[in-house]
Amino acid sequence: MKGREISPNPRWPYSDRMRSHHDAEAPLRTLISERVNFVSNLKTIPDVYKRKSRRRAIYIHVPFCTRRCTFCNLRRFQMPPPSDYHKLVIKEIQTYSSYSYVKEGVYHAVYFGGGTPTTLKAADLRKILQSLKSNLTLSPDAELTIETTVSDLTEDKIAVFKDEGINRFSVGVQTFCDRGRRLLGRIGTGKYAAEKLASLLDEGFQNVGMDLIYNYPGQSEDELKEDLRVMDSLNIAGFSFYSLILLKGTPLHQMIKMGRCPPLGDLKQEWIFFEMILDYFLNRGFEILELSKLVQPGRDNYEYIRIRYENGDTLALGAGAGGRLGNMMYMNPLDIEAYRQQVSSATGLPMMGFKVDNRYDFIHNIIGKIEFGRLNWTDLGYLSEDSEHLRQFADKLAAIDLLQTDPSGFSLTRKGVFWGNNIAREFATILVKLRACR
C-alpha cells in the first residue's frame, strides 16, 4: 500500500471525507432484511459455514466507562459494570456452547471491546476468560485482544492478562498532550499515559498498540509532532489513528458551539496532519495495515478484523454486542435490563437474527480488501471477466491519484488511503447495483 509522494495541497475528490468503515459499509444495509428465528436458524446452519478454513472470532462487549470522553457517542454507560455482568456473559457462553455449531468451531481471535472492558474487576475478567477456554475451543495461537485505558492498567489486571494469555492490547490514549487530554476528557496527564504504556511493554507484552486522535480543536502541528515523538520512543507495535469526528450531542460539540474551545481544523489541516503521521512512521519502518492503522511489520496482524472481513463468524457476547453466526447476523440489546432478561429467558438467546447471503459476503469482502489497500481483479471471482465497469471506475480514480492500477488490480495511493472509506463505499454501491452474486 505504499503510494508515491503527493502534493500537500491536493484537489479534493469528494466534498466530504468519510472517516469510518461504517460509512463504507452503508450500502450493504439494503442487503440485510430477512428476519429469522434465532434459535431455529442456529440449529440449522448449512454445512458450508462449518468448513474449517472459515475462521471464527469471539467479541465481548463491555459498554461501561469510568468517565465520558467529550467526543464520544459510542454505545456505552458512564458507570461501573453491574456486579453480575460477568455472570451474564458466562451464562451466555454456557448457553451457546450447548449448540453444536458453536461448540464444534475453533476460535482464532477474541476481542474485548467497549466502552472500556477493563472497568470489569480483575477477578471477573479472569472468570470470563476461563469460561471461554473451558466451554469453547480457542486455537493455540489465538489472538486475544483487550481494549483498555491507561488508568486501568493496574497490577491485578496485568496479572490476569499474563495468566490468561491476553496477547494484544488496544490502549485508548488519544493524545499525550495535556491540553488535548483535558479537552477530550481523558484521565491523567500525557506523562502518566506514557509511563503506563511503557510499564505494560516492560511486562513483556509485544503487541501493545494505542489509539491516536488527530485534528482535535486547536491542535497545533507541534502538538502532533510531540505525540508522534512520544509514540516512537515507546516502541509500540502499532496504532490506530483517527481524525476527530465531531458528533452532535457530544459535550465537545456543545463546547465548540458555545465558543468555549476552537473549532476543528479544516480538511486541508486534516490532510496535513495525516501526511505528518504517515511520513513520520513510514520513515521509521512502519507499514499501513489498513486505512487507519500503522504497524511495525510482524508485530501486529489484527486477526480479529481480518476474520470479520473474511466473513468468518463473530460470536458476540455482552449487552449491545453485534455478531454473526453462519448465515445470520444478530445484536444483543444494549439496555442492561433487557440484556439480563434475554440471558435469563427460556432460550437465553436473542429472539431473532437477520439473514445474510452470498451477495452480502462478496461485497463485504471486497470492502475489506480495499480497506486493507489492495484489490486484485481475481478477488471479483466470476465477475472478474465481466468487470469492465469496475476497471473503468478504477482508471478514473487512478487519474486523480487515488489509486495505482496495474494489470492484476489496484492499490490505494496515500491520497487514496486518506479517502479510502469514500472509495470503498463507491465500489460497494456499484457492486450492490450490479447485484454481484445473483
Q: C-beta of 380: minimal distance to ligand SF4 in Å?
A: 37
CB 147 within 8 A of CB 116: yes
Q: C-beta of 227: minimal distance to ligand SF4 in Å?
A: 17
Of 110 and 244, the one with the shorter C-beta distance to ligand SF4 is 244
Q: C-beta of 233: minimal distance to ligand SF4 in Å?
A: 24
Of 210 and 325, the one with the shorter C-beta distance to ligand SF4 is 210
CB 159 within 8 A of CB 191: no
What CA–CA distance (Å, rounded) separates 1 from 410? 10
Of 62 and 356, the one with the shorter C-beta distance to ligand SF4 is 62
Query: Angle, nearest 10°, between helix axes 267-282 and 221-234?
Result: 30
What CA–CA distance (Å, rounded) separates 358 from 412? 26
CB 273 within 8 A of CB 17: no
* Selection from 130, 127, 129 nearest residue 145 by Cα: 129
DSSP-assigned letter for residue 375:
E
Give the residues lining the site for ligand SF4 (CB under 6 A): 65, 68-69, 72, 74, 76, 114-116, 149, 172
Of 172 and 323, the one with the shorter C-beta distance to ligand SF4 is 172
Of 117 and 265, the one with the shorter C-beta distance to ligand SF4 is 117
Q: Which amino acid is at 2?
A: K
What CA–CA distance (Å, rounded) separates 93 from 144? 16
Q: C-beta of 116: minimal distance to ligand SF4 in Å?
A: 5
Q: Output the CA torsion sign for 354, 359, 362, 366.
A: negative
CB 34 within 8 A of CB 360: no
Q: C-beta of 244: minimal distance to ligand SF4 in Å?
A: 11
What CA–CA distance (Å, rounded) separates 91 from 233? 43
- Cis upstream peptide for 318 (omega within 30°): no
- Helix (H) or strand (E) holding 421, with range, is helix 420-434
Q: Name residues whose C-beta falls within 8 Å of residue 423's C-beta, 6 or more positions apart in sequence.
A: 370, 397, 402, 403, 412, 416
Q: C-beta of 186: minimal distance to ligand SF4 in Å?
A: 8
What CA–CA distance (Å, rounded) separates 343 from 313? 20
Q: C-beta of 189: minimal distance to ligand SF4 in Å?
A: 17
Of 68 and 355, the one with the shorter C-beta distance to ligand SF4 is 68
Of 65 and 289, the one with the shorter C-beta distance to ligand SF4 is 65
Of 253 and 374, the one with the shorter C-beta distance to ligand SF4 is 253
Q: C-beta of 68: minimal distance to ligand SF4 in Å?
A: 5
Question: What is the number of H-type helices and E-type strands within the chain?
Answer: 17, 16
Of 36 and 74, the one with the shorter C-beta distance to ligand SF4 is 74
Q: C-beta of 61: minimal distance to ligand SF4 in Å?
A: 11
